[in-house]
């Protein structure tokens, strides 16, 4: 494989999208198998280390009654979570196999398009359709040796929902069209420096009974002679596959409540995070335990104790914000009302339609490899008012903005 890559690089020195065999062939297999075996290796490695260490500590804890060392049980608990994660990945791999992304444009072009079709090994039936997502990611590493850590940061993201696949009458497979407009100023694929690489990932997912369908592809995206700042995409063929998706169906899994009013208006209620706040709460408790241990133990430097303690209030504030923050927007007659904030301390903004300059989608924060977005309203005087925040799906946010604009225009 290495020799083949070298040969391709020598044959195409000015075309890096032809430097890998699957890129050159324009047929890219999903990385599901690779991810599954990596998860298996990591779960085995973690458990083989954490369980023996924990078992060795138990007699010492019981004998000396030094219960401050109970924190070691966190590591085998994480190990159990890794095993569950690995099992899910194996079931998904067995159920769906490896999908293939067949590129109709090679490469994807900055200031151009990414075109192709994703073909599955089995027919995937999903009432809610297929979500197709494209991400430009900065994968970077810090530290060296055992202290080396790798993380990913999303630089750009776009997505859409496909209601009708191409081979709807074929019981043996599914085919989902891919068409994205890529910004001219987006970064192109660059893996020359593994410690600071730019990669492009195509993701597809669908909600189905049991284990959901998901597949990931690492694809080539480069600036070529076809790149144009004023490029516009023809999405007419894609629109046919998108079909008509009701607003209720689109928001069904988000928890966002949509209400049509008698006077032709609309109301959207963005609830608190509820159960989704629990992971941050548990993490905050674990962090609190670490802080307590640091202050009990004499060896850690004072600066470390202070830093870890200073982070704790921010963690609990984040948990409370997710638990208590709620927003609601009502568009009725000739005005819009926005109410948001913590329960019991919410602010209310009432504006006439004539006061509104723009309603737009903004990227806000990142978490779990997703960009969380906000919907903001800009007044004629330049004041910015948040309608909703931490929306984890752009499809939902775009639909909400479209519905609010329709209610304002009276369409």
What pTM, to 2 d.p., does this model score? 0.72
Alpha-carbon gap, residue 406 to 401, rounded angstroms: 9
Q: Where are the domains of the chain?
A: 35-92, 99-243, 246-411
Mean pLDDT of the residues in the chain? 83
Query: Token digits for 230?
Result: 């004023």
Query: What number of other Cβ atoms are within 10 A of residue 206's Cβ?
Result: 24
pLDDT of 216 over the 90 cut: yes
Return the sign of the alpha-carbon dihedral for residues 178, 183, 184, 189: negative
pLDDT for the residue 37 = 92
Q: What is the pLDDT of residues 117-176, one digit of tens each?
A: 999 999 998 878 898 999 999 988 877 766 677 788 888 888 888 887 877 777 888 999
182 φ, ψ to 5°? Answer: -105, 130
Strand order in the sheet with 112-119: 27-29, 100-103, 112-119, 175-182
65-78 average pLDDT score:
68
Range in 108-112, 118-122, 150-154, 325-329 the model is least confident about = 150-154
> Which band of pLDDT confidence, cut at 50, 70 and 90, is reported for residue 18?
confident
Q: What is the pLDDT of residues 351-380, one digit of tens each?
A: 898 889 989 888 655 555 667 788 899 999
Name the 3-class secondary structure at 279: helix
Return the sign of the alpha-carbon dihedral for residues 315, 320, 326, 327: negative
Q: How far is CA 82 from CA 42, 44, 54, 149, 212, in A?
A: 8, 9, 17, 18, 18
> Which band of pLDDT confidence, cut at 50, 70 and 90, is reported for residue 227?
very high
Name the 3-class secondary structure at 147: helix
Q: Does domain 99-243 have CATH number 2.60.40.640?
A: yes
> Which band of pLDDT confidence, cut at 50, 70 and 90, is reported for residue 38?
very high
> Which band of pLDDT confidence, cut at 50, 70 and 90, is reported for residue 68?
low
pLDDT for the residue 391 = 82
pLDDT for the residue 279 = 82
> What DSSP assignment string belongs to 32-76?
HHHHHHHHHHHHHHHHHHHHHHHHHHHHHHHHHT-GGGGGGGHHH
In contact, 377 and 356? CB cutoff 8 Å:
yes
Query: What number of other Cβ atoms are within 10 A of residue 226's Cβ?
Result: 13
In contact, 16 and 200? CB cutoff 8 Å:
no
pLDDT for the residue 178 = 92
pLDDT for the residue 119 = 93
Strands 108-109 and 221-222: parallel
Looking at the chain, the whole-number percentage of residues with pLDDT higher than 70 is 86
pLDDT for the residue 120 = 93
């Amino acid at each position: 494989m290495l020799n083949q890559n070298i040969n391709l690089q020598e044959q195409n020195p000015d075309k890096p999208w032809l430097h890998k065999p699957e890129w050159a062939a324009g047929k890219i297999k999903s990385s599901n198998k690779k991810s599954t075996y990596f998860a298996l290796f990591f779960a085995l490695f973690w458990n083989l280390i954490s369980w023996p260490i924990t078992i060795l500590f138990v007699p010492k804890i019981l004998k000396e009654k030094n219960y401050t060392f109970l924190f070691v049980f966190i590591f085998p608990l994480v190990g159990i979570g890794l095993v569950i994660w690995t099992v899910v990945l194996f079931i998904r791999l067995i159920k769906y196999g490896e999908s293939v992304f067949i590129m109709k444009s090679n490469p994807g072009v900055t200031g151009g398009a990414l075109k192709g079709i994703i073909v599955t090994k089995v027919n995937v039936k999903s009432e809610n359709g297929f979500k197709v997502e494209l991400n430009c990611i900065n994968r970077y590493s810090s530290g060296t040796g055992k202290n080396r850590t790798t993380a990913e940061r999303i630089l750009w993201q776009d997505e859409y929902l496909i209601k009708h696949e191409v081979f709807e009458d074929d019981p043996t497979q599914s085919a989902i069209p891919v068409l994205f407009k890529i910004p001219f100023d987006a970064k192109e694929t660059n893996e020359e420096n593994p410690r600071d690489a730019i990669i492009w990932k195509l993701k597809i997912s669908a909600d189905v009974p049991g284990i959901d369908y998901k597949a990931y592809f690492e694809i080539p995206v480069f600036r070529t002679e076809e790149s144009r700042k004023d490029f516009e995409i023809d999405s007419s063929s894609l629109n046919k596959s998108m079909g008509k998706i009701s607003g209720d169906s689109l928001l069904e899994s988000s928890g966002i409540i949509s209400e049509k009013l008698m006077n032709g208006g609309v109301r959207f209620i963005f609830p608190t995070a509820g159960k989704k706040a629990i992971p941050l709460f548990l993490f905050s408790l674990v962090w609190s335990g670490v802080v307590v241990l640091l202050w009990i133990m004499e060896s850690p430097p004072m600066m470390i104790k202070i830093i870890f303690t200073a982070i704790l209030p921010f963690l609990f504030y984040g948990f409370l914000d997710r638990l208590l923050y709620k927003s609601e927007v009502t568009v009725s007659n000739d005005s819009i009302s926005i109410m948001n904030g913590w329960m019991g301390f919410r602010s209310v903004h009432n504006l006439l339609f004539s006061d509104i300059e723009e309603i737009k989608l903004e990227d806000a924060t990142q978490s779990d490899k997703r960009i969380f977005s906000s919907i903001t309203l800009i007044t004629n005087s330049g004041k910015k008012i948040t309608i909703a925040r931490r929306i984890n799906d752009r499809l939902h946010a775009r639909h909400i903005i479209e519905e609010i604009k329709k209610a304002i225009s009276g369409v």
